[in-house]
């Protein structure tokens, strides 16, 4: 079964859960709580920095608990997003913002799982991600009446209950200012096996980019064992830097043309000081090897993930 099909089946299951916006099937990592009322999650008024709240939802976790919350929001008018800023209080591990298909259920906040994603990704953030400013003339578009879905991975590492409100703020521009529509894809590998008591252990993955376009931003995403990431397109180095779990940031934007059929390679390095091997997984205690790569134009269809596995 393909990852795309798994994602869509997960959304279909999510849509059928509960009788209102605040109740859902708790899923495999549900704990004792089944959902939290999101409250007003679309706010069209600008804050002091010029951001508006695109989507946000409340969550709560018991001591040591790890979970996923999905917040779905119908956007009442067409918007063009030129800047993203994560709402990420303590406990927010990562945020994935996708556009949901029509059958994905009512607006609101529910417990879900890591595979509850729409087919088109427009933003992602990790721990310590700073705001992402798209290049002039480039914007992510959400059509009027389209539903967005933010998948929040939250983890309470403390011995006390923890709660917060996570989501995504954006800066908007007029449609007349947009010349290119943006899209982001997770590129890398899901074939990970990091031996116990190992250092400088390397895994590599690649994504074949089928549609010509331009790449313009990258954010590395690994978990707590990751130490370094290198991203290349042929002989061109797009990212080459140490990785820190608490500072997962987009670098400076760039402009890299890509022809159809070229392969983008992602090389991840890990140190595993534990007595057990660590493999791929969504949990903070497992590992990932992804570069979040922004491009234009978007391609349809295009998986949220393009990875060797």
Q: How far is CA 80 from the centre of its chain?
A: 19
Nearest CA to 266 out of 297, 230, 241, 295 is that of 230
Rounded to whole angstroms, how far apart are CA atoms 185 and 305?
6
- Please report, for residues 185, 222, 233, 256, 294, the alpha-carbon distance to residue 209 in angstroms, rounded to integers and kept in the order given: 10, 22, 10, 13, 12
Q: Name the pTM for this structure.
A: 0.84
Residue 35 has what pLDDT? 42
Rounded to whole angstroms, how far apart are CA atoms 198 and 262?
32
Render the burial of 44-54: b for 16+ CB within 10 Å, e for the rest: eeeeeeebbbb
Nearest CA to 62 out of 95, 96, 91 is that of 91
Please enumerate in sequence order all residues whose Cβ is within 8 A of that of 40, keeping only pairs 6 or more positions apart, or say none.
Answer: none
The tens-digit pLDDT sequence of the chain (309 residues) is 334 433 433 333 333 333 333 222 323 333 333 344 444 456 778 888 999 999 999 999 999 999 999 999 999 999 999 999 999 999 999 999 998 766 567 888 889 998 888 888 999 999 999 999 999 999 999 999 899 999 999 999 999 999 999 999 999 999 999 999 999 999 999 999 999 999 999 999 999 988 899 999 999 999 999 999 999 999 999 999 999 999 999 999 999 999 988 999 999 999 999 999 999 998 888 999 999 999 999 876 557 888 875
User: Taking a C-beta distance cutoff of 8 angstroms, is the pair 191, 203 a contact?
Assistant: yes
Count other Cβ atoms within 10 Å, centred on residue 275.
7
Q: Read off the pLDDT of residues 65-115 as tens digits, 9 standing for 90 and up.
A: 999 999 999 999 999 999 999 999 999 999 999 987 665 678 888 899 988
- Joined tokens for residue 174: 């007029």
The β-bridge relationship of strands 183-189 and 305-308 is parallel
């Amino acid at each position: 079964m393909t990852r795309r099909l798994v994602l869509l089946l997960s959304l279909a299951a999510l849509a059928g859960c509960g009788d209102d916006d605040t109740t859902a099937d708790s899923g495999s990592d549900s704990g004792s709580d089944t959902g939290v009322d999101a409250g007003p999650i679309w706010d069209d008024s600008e804050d002091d920095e010029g951001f508006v709240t695109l989507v946000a939802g409340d969550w709560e976790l018991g001591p040591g608990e790890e979970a996923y919350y999905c917040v779905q929001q119908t956007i009442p008018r067409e918007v063009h997003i030129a800047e993203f800023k994560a709402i990420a209080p303590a406990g927010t591990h990562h945020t994935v913002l996708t556009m949901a298909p029509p059958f994905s259920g009512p607006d609101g906040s529910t417990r879900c799982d890591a595979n509850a994603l729409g087919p088109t990704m427009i933003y992602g953030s990790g721990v310590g991600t700073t705001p992402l400013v798209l290049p002039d003339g480039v914007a992510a578009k959400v059509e009027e009446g389209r539903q967005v879905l933010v998948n929040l991975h939250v983890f309470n590492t403390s011995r006390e209950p923890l709660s917060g409100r996570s989501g995504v703020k954006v800066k908007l521009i007029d449609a007349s200012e947009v010349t290119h529509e943006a899209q982001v894809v997770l590129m890398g590998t899901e074939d990970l096996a990091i031996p116990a008591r190992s250092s400088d252990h390397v895994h590599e993955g690649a994504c074949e980019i089928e549609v010509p376009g331009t790449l313009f931003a990258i954010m590395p995403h690994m978990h707590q064992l990751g130490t370094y990431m290198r991203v290349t397109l042929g002989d061109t180095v797009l990212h080459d830097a140490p990785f820190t779990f608490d500072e997962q940031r987009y670098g400076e934007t760039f402009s890299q043309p890509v022809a159809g059929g070229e392969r983008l390679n992602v090389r991840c390095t890990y140190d595993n000081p534990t007595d057990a091997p660590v493999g791929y997984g969504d949990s903070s205690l497992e590992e990932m090897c992804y570069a979040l790569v922004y491009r234009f134009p978007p391609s349809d269809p295009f998986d949220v993930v393009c990875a060797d596995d």
